[in-house]
Structure 1
Amino acid sequence: MLEYKFDTQLLIEGTDLSEDEINDYITENIEGDCLLAVGDESLIKIHFHTNTPWKVLEYCASKGDIHDVVIENMDRQANGLQG
């Protein structure tokens, strides 16, 4: 069994976005691992493994417009099922 069940990926589009600020907030406030927050001040790609993907979505939506949201259940994938 995986420690963190959901692979959460999305894009944040906005103005004056900061990779460091987003990375720090998620790391300090949302339990998970494998965080990537990369991009520039107008577009950030997020990848994060967590059991609470809704917290990631809520936070990211507060930073800008979110889209291309993908949440996959890695337990199901590990068992050969659709994520």
Structure 2
Amino acid sequence: MTDEGPWHVLIFEHTQRGRLLSQQIHVGDDRTAAREKAMSLALGYEPTRPVWIKSRDVFMASVDSWVIQVHGATVSSDFEVQVARLIAQRDR
């Protein structure tokens, strides 16, 4: 795969309704910058649940993908952060 952009960071939250895209952030044409933004979000993004985060575990699933477990006082949840290249846009 080429490193040419445009690059985005996608955040997927896991809810009772399933895996939902909660944010799509355009980073630009620099894949390294997109990876840095993704890592920053893996460490600092606050998902819908838990409301108060006591701790988080960040797992690097691949060079462009992180799985994060967040732990609150009584609830834990997880979300994913991914770097993705936009390859097509199509209007109907």
Q: Tell me which protein shows more helix as a share of its residues.
A: 1
Which structure's relative contact order is higher, taking Cα pairs within 8 Å and 6+ residues apart? 1
Larger Rg: 2
Q: Tell me which protein shows more strand as a share of its residues.
A: 2
